[in-house]
A and B are shown apart, each in its own frame.
Chain A
Amino acid sequence: MSKERDRGYDPTIVGLLCNWCTYAGADLAGTTRIKHPQNMRAIRIPCSGRVSPHFIFTSLFQGADGVFIGGCHPADCHYTSGNYYARRRFALMKSLLDFVGVEPDRLTLEWVSASEGDRFAEVVTEFTEGVKALGRPNSLKRDGLES
């Protein structure tokens, strides 16, 4: 999935975006033609609280170089509190993955509202640059583990 091309290491990033905020924010970034790296494959989810650890683990095992989760800002969750639960779970998932060899730069949880197209482009750019800087596939990539 990750490709070495002339323009260098080109990571694949899985984006799990909350339907009510970040997905709409991404849409806004697109309609207002704000430029940002194109490495992220957006997956629309109902809420950041919907993110199961399996989504993250499976993405990494199948070769994603990074996983970006986008949710509503604290206090703005469409379902009142899904993002608060997501925050606790994400903190533990990230430290577990860090412990077994996944660089913290490969995972992020960001709050982006539907009106923040510019912020969406900003955090995606920053995250993509961070993953690019690592310059190698993630340690849990299945092909790597099996070799």
Chain B
Amino acid sequence: MIDRIRNTARRWLADGTVDVFLGFRKRPDGTVVPVRIRDASDADGTYFGDGCVHNLMGLVDLRGEEKVGVLLKGCDGRAFVQLMIEGEVDRERFKILGVVCPGLSSNDSLEEKCETCRYNTPPVYDELVEDEGVESWERGPVYDGLAEVESMSHPVRAAYFKNEFDRCIRCYACRDICPLCYCEECVTEKSRPQWVEVGVKPSSSFYWHLIRAYHLAGRCVSCGECDRACPVGIPLKYLNRKMSRQVEELFDYVPGTDPDATPVLLEFKEDEEHVLCPGDGS
């Protein structure tokens, strides 16, 4: 698998198919980092395996001119498709090297985001590499952790989230790492009007996390990058999962899986009054 990735990257860079290739590199200490290579001779330094958790779509310059080759797992591929249907990436500018992801582990256990993975293969790609014995899968939804929160009373839920958000240092790593958070000017940096207070306070952090989750409703592809990037361990996954579940239940939409879809909040059906009073207690 790694050989095929290296060969493809080398070929694309050597024949000018792409100007830059985004992949992974394993450092001598065993950690894995994303890498941009521009020289075909560097292709041997690329890697794929445990540790390649990063979503490389979060590192792409969406508005650049260069031809980009990029290695995408299933979750990363969903980010690509969602960006594509939102008109943010030009399919022609990208050469996608898809991998049929076997699921990634750290310390001998499967990454949490891989346990709940639904699509291990990118929905669109130019070339696909797979390991023997790893098949493409499409699995049903897993929305872990929501029932625990929903079993609490409303004031207790608010206290639970307040307690989690209180640790927020407002570094905005969750936003910056997110492949779908591409606004050139984020609402949190706007001052006319200033919807999100700048100071690090319980109420302003609570507000920030609400609007972040809402802006990703119907767009989050469950790549888990926000959760991984958070330096203080805020469980952003619950908010994202809640929104994903609602979007799937109400609108039968799973972000980033259909290259021909319209983003869920940019369309409607005339006959869907039932969405206002869903029967799941929300």
Cα separation A92 to B255 with both chains bound (whole Å): 15
Cα separation A91 to B98 with both chains bound (whole Å): 35
Q: Is B270 within 8 A of A75, CB to CB?
A: yes
Q: Is B202 within 8 A of A146, CB to CB?
A: yes
0/1 string, B246-268, CB within 8 A of A gives 1:
11001100000000000011101
Q: Is B157 within 8 A of A57, CB to CB?
A: no
Q: Shortest Cβ distance from A16 into chain B, in angstroms?
A: 16
Partner of B282, one of A57, A85, A99, A146: A99
0/1 string, B125-160, CB within 8 A of A gives 1:
000000000000000000000100110001111111
Q: Is B159 within 8 A of A146, CB to CB?
A: no
Q: Shortest Cβ distance from B273 into chain A, in angstroms?
A: 7
Q: Is B203 within 8 A of A142, CB to CB?
A: yes
Partner of B211, one of A54, A81, A89: A54
Q: Shortest Cβ distance from A90 into chain B, in angstroms?
A: 7
Closest to A100 in B: B161
Q: Is B210 within 8 A of A98, CB to CB?
A: no
Q: Using A87-B275, A92-B214 as known contacts, say yes or no to A101 and B264 having CB atoms under 8 A apart.
A: no
Q: Using A85-B268, A90-B276, A145-B162 as known contacts, say yes or no to A99 and B250 having CB atoms under 8 A apart.
A: no
Cα separation A101 to B264 with both chains bound (whole Å): 25
* Stretch of A18-26, A102-110, A119-127 with 4 or more beta carbons under 8 angstroms from chain B: A102-110
Chain B residue total in the interface (Cβ 8 A): 45
Q: Is B155 within 8 A of A101, CB to CB?
A: yes
Residues of B contacting A74 in the complex (Cβ-Cβ under 8 angstroms): 270, 273
Chain A residue total in the interface (Cβ 8 A): 35
Cα separation A11 to B281 with both chains bound (whole Å): 24
Cα separation A106 to B115 with both chains bound (whole Å): 36
Question: Would you call B103 an interface residue if the criterion is a C-beta within 8 Å of the partner chain's C-beta atoms?
Answer: no
Question: Would you call A94 an interface residue if the criterion is a C-beta within 8 Å of the partner chain's C-beta atoms?
Answer: yes
Residues of B contacting A33 in the complex (Cβ-Cβ under 8 angstroms): none
B-contacting residues, A52-108, CB 8 Å:
53-54, 57-58, 61, 74-75, 81, 84-85, 87-104
Closest to A97 in B: B210
Question: Would you call B218 an interface residue if the criterion is a C-beta within 8 Å of the partner chain's C-beta atoms?
Answer: yes
Q: Is B264 within 8 A of A88, CB to CB?
A: yes
Q: Is A95 within 8 A of B202, CB to CB?
A: no
Residues of A contacting B268 in the complex (Cβ-Cβ under 8 angstroms): 81, 84-85, 87-88
Q: Closest 3 interchain pairs by CB?
A: A101-B158, A139-B158, A84-B268
Residue numbers of B with Cβ under 8 A of A are 146, 149-150, 154-162, 187, 195, 201-203, 206-207, 210-211, 213-214, 217-218, 238-239, 242-243, 246-247, 250-251, 264-266, 268-270, 272-273, 275-276, 278, 282
